[in-house]
Amino acid sequence: MNIETNRPPVLDEMVKVPGGTFTMGSDHHYPEEKPAHKVRVDGFWIDRHLVSNRQFARFVAETGHVTLAEKPVDPDDYPGADPALLAPASVVLMPPPGRVDLRNHYNWWQYVPGADWRHPRGPDSSIEGLEDHPVVHVAYEDALAYARWAGKELPTEAEWEYASKGGSDGSEFAWGDELVPDGRYMANTWQGEFPWEQQALDGYPWTSPVGAFPANGYGLFDMIGNVWEWTVDWYQDHGRIQRTCCTLDNPRGGSAEDSADPRTPQLRIPRRVTKGGSHACAPNYCRRYRPAARMAQPVDTSTSHVGFRCIVREPGEG
């Protein structure tokens, strides 16, 4: 038991977020964020920092967990797939040498055999010196396994968004209405023209150590930028959200079946909501470094810019 705070050790390095009502979503940015609506959440504890490589390595050492990116793909799950794509691999951001068509994300995202949490930029890379950076290349099942090992859970989209706001409910960003107030970088995002020109004016061209940027009003770090974060909610497209949303206690709804990408009907891969944006979010392409922003992430896919943090709900809450 932690003597100073008289709370269980599992809550160390966590912050208590009080329950309340807030405005979820936005009517002023991307369609998938609509409609803005009032949501009520109960109080909960949430990790002060993103889960780091150091913490994930301890989990792997104690459990022997093998991440999805480290396993070969079952060809029965992907009939007709190129055999080369069935080897253990993950998706890595590979900036092109110059301007490319922004409508085709394959111009900068590549499926790299041998990329995983230990090798974040490919098989010849390592996490040496990155122990305090957020763990990446973790699929949803990996994040969930870690949370259960730690005696925690993953947040809902509403819980995450509420915590991200830090007690402020009227600002565009988690810290106010200016992206770089008085020239101060508040989060690890992309400076320059995405995806080829990374000026790294905030000091980090890729991930940054957890806690490198200012905390929000609740004392939480990296709720915006650095890496996207998994939530437990199934993703819904804009049209379905508009039809099913929203009440105070049912912020968006959703199901695994409805979460699959309608653009690939031959592959019905469920998608979960990720939140917060990442170091790859840029004004010219992805202004998703805001609490209301959301992204659909297939549960069978890990990438170099998606990580997670955990929560603990109060008994009888959540």
- In tens, the pLDDT along 182-236 reads 999 999 999 999 999 999 999 999 999 999 999 999 999 999 999 999 999 999 8
Q: What are the backbone dihedrals phi and psi of residue 182, each rounded to the nearest 5 degrees, phi first?
A: 55, 35
* Of 154-168, 229-243, 271-285, the least confident: 229-243
pLDDT digits (tens, 9 = 90+) for 233-276: 999 876 566 556 666 666 676 778 778 777 777 778 999 999 99
- Please say if the pLDDT value at position 170 is more than 50: yes
Cα separation, 10 vs 2, in Å, equals 10
More confident residue, 14 or 253: 14
pLDDT at residue 249 in the model: 67
Instruction: Give the percent of the chain with pLDDT over 70.
Output: 92
- In the chain, the DSSP E strands lie at 14-17, 20-24, 37-41, 44-47, 89-93, 109-113, 228-234, 271-275, 294-298, 306-307, 311-313
- What are 215's two structure tokens? 């905390």
More confident residue, 267 or 113: 113
- Please say if the pLDDT value at position 318 is more than 50: no
- Please say if the pLDDT value at position 43 is more than 80: yes
* Of 8-22, 93-107, 215-229, 279-293, the least confident: 8-22
pLDDT at residue 236 in the model: 85
pLDDT-derived band at 11, boundaries 50, 70, 90: very high
pLDDT-derived band at 3, boundaries 50, 70, 90: very low
pLDDT at residue 316 in the model: 47
Instruction: Give the percent of the chain with pLDDT over 90.
Output: 78
Give the angle 78-82-88 at the CA atoms, nearest 5°: 75
248, HSE (Cβ side, Cα atoms, 13 Å): 6
Neighbours of 246 (CB within 10 A): 19
- Please say if the pLDDT value at position 137 is more than 90: yes
Cα separation, 310 vs 153, in Å, equals 6
pLDDT at residue 85 in the model: 74
- Please say if the pLDDT value at position 2 is more than 50: no
- Please say if the pLDDT value at position 74 is more than 90: no
pLDDT-derived band at 4, boundaries 50, 70, 90: very low
DSSP 156: P
pLDDT at residue 266 in the model: 72
* Of 74-88, 159-173, 190-204, the least confident: 74-88
Give the angle 285-289-295 at the CA atoms, nearest 5°: 75
Query: What does the pLDDT average to over 117-137?
Result: 98
pLDDT at residue 244 in the model: 60
More confident residue, 211 or 315: 211
Contact between 224 and 173 under an 8 Å Cβ cutoff? The reply is yes
Give the angle 264-87-128 at the CA atoms, nearest 5°: 110
pLDDT at residue 242 in the model: 58
Q: Between 3.40.50.2000, 3.90.1580.10, 3.30.420.40, 1.10.150.120, what CATH number should domain 14-313 receive?
A: 3.90.1580.10
